[in-house]
Amino acid sequence: MRATLLYGAGDVRVENVPDATLKLPTDALVRVTAACICGSDLWPYAGKAHDSGPARMGHEFIGVVEAVGAEVTSVRPGDLVIAPWIISDGTCEFCLEGKQNACVHLSMWDMEPDEGGQAEAVRVPSADGTLVKVPAGVDAALMPSLLTLSDVFGTGYHAAVAGGVTPGSTVTVIGDGAVGLLAVLSAKLLGAERIVLMGRHRVRTDLGREFGATHVVATRGAEGIEAVRELTGGHGAPVVIEAVGTRDAYDQAVGVVRPGGTISRVGVPQYEEAPIGVGSLFLRNVRLAGGAAPTRGYIEQLMPTILDGTINPGKVFDVTTTLDGTPDGYRDMASRKSLKVLITP
């Protein structure tokens, strides 16, 4: 079968690899019908060393079950399923609390060296805990939106939930990438009244407005902080969602948050240490929340709003390609020519 491999920075190839097969009785074999490229795939695309050997790519996908191991009970061949970016058992104390990112049997697609969603098929470990079945007979037009439940929408939603967005909230979202835009949609869904989107790409911020942003701030740094403060009563936003992951974006979040407010981070931090002391968070009682999104728990919660047409998060996909177009998809997302690329293997 064919699959996507990252050989090193800027070097993505689609190649023949051994067919995915069941290995454990808890596995499912899934034929991928739609996958996509994640903003977080762009970090290794930017910096992976060639000498570490090629890595299988892709952790967001939807597909049809082809076979299941003897112990799998929740899905069966023919089922359309959504796979979240985290592999979890569904039964441990953390999974039962909805914290699948702390599952005691946690795995991730990049910890499974022979699997990846940007491929024709995938072996899915812990299938009962990981996969979520889509009701039969769903309109094909809904597939892009359902695919966002795999990671990008659930991550934006996690940002809004962890930030404590409630009806009437004022929220600032930093970043007009797909996660940031879906954080806007999520904040709107949770009842936020004022949503300031910080982003500079007009096409993206226009989609942000469609998703619910009431204001767009295109400036950054001190100027951006001033603009957000003007829009939020002079003291900043009580909830700030940081959907980028760079130190600059974190510093921007510290600058635009209101005293006593919350910074909710979902962009994978490209830093380990950052300011949290008296001069940044402590004196102003700013809470730092968020983290890796337990999207598995949000899939069942959010799917009905997609199935009934309430929302259309799939609008973040501006390009659809076959597996052959995946290398170009990486290039175009990295250069910000494309917002988010959908792959139909």
Candidates 294, 297, 314, 329: give the one binding a copy of itself (CB under 8 A): 294
- CB neighbour burial string for 157-175, b if at least 16 within 10 angstroms, e if fewer: bbbbbbbbbeeebbbbbbb
Candidates 291, 312, 320, 344: give the one binding a copy of itself (CB under 8 A): 291
The span from the CA of 179 to the CA of 214, in Å, is 17
Distances (CA, A) of 1 to 23, 24, 121, 216, 341: 17, 20, 7, 45, 21
Q: Tell which positions 132-171 bind a copy of itself, by CB under 8 A.
A: 162
- Mark the segment that binds a copy of itself (CB under 8 A) among 8-16, 62-70, 285-293, 332-340: 285-293
Distances (CA, A) of 8 to 1, 41, 44: 22, 12, 8
- Is 42 one of the binding residues for a copy of itself (CB under 8 A)? no
Binding-site string for a copy of itself from residue 74 to residue 93, where x marks contact by CB under 8 A and - marks none? -------------------x
End-to-end CA distance of the chain: 10
Candidates 4, 88, 101, 295: give the one binding a copy of itself (CB under 8 A): 101
Residues 6+ apart with CB under 8 A from 176: 197, 198, 199, 200, 201, 204, 205, 208
The span from the CA of 251 to the CA of 239, in Å, is 15
Q: Minimum distance between the CB of residue 221 and a copy of itself, rounded to whole angstroms?
A: 19
Nearer to a copy of itself by Cβ, of 105 and 287: the residue is 287
Contact 271, 250 (CB under 8 A): yes
Nearer to a copy of itself by Cβ, of 97 and 223: the residue is 97
Nearest alpha carbon to residue 116 among 126, 105, 125: 125
Nearer to a copy of itself by Cβ, of 221 and 275: the residue is 275
- Is 43 one of the binding residues for a copy of itself (CB under 8 A)? no
Nearer to a copy of itself by Cβ, of 16 and 285: the residue is 285
Candidates 49, 140, 141, 278: give the one binding a copy of itself (CB under 8 A): 278
DSSP state for residue 18 in the 8-state scheme: P
Secondary structure class of 281 (helix, strand, coil): helix
Nearer to a copy of itself by Cβ, of 25 and 275: the residue is 275
Nearest alpha carbon to residue 240 among 297, 313, 162: 162
- Is 175 one of the binding residues for a copy of itself (CB under 8 A)? no
Characterise 13 by phi-psi region: left (phi > 0), alpha (psi -120 to 50), beta (else).
Answer: beta
Torsion angle in degrees (nearest 10) through CA of 181, 187, 189, 191 = -150
- Is 47 one of the binding residues for a copy of itself (CB under 8 A)? no
Candidates 94, 109, 157, 298: give the one binding a copy of itself (CB under 8 A): 94
The one-letter amino acid code at 9 reads A
- Is 18 one of the binding residues for a copy of itself (CB under 8 A)? no
Candidates 19, 193, 282, 301: give the one binding a copy of itself (CB under 8 A): 282
Total binding residues toward a copy of itself, as defined by CB under 8 A:
37
CA angle centred on 252, ends 195 and 246, rounded to 5°: 110
Candidates 2, 31, 99, 200: give the one binding a copy of itself (CB under 8 A): 99
Candidates 73, 111, 271, 310: give the one binding a copy of itself (CB under 8 A): 271
Contact 122, 83 (CB under 8 A): yes
Binding-site string for a copy of itself from residue 221 to residue 260, where x marks contact by CB under 8 A and - marks none? ------------x-x-----------------------xx
Candidates 65, 121, 228, 288: give the one binding a copy of itself (CB under 8 A): 288
Measure CA 224 to chain center.
25
Binding site for a copy of itself (CB under 8 A): 93-94, 97, 99, 101-102, 162, 233, 235, 259-260, 265, 268-269, 271-292, 294
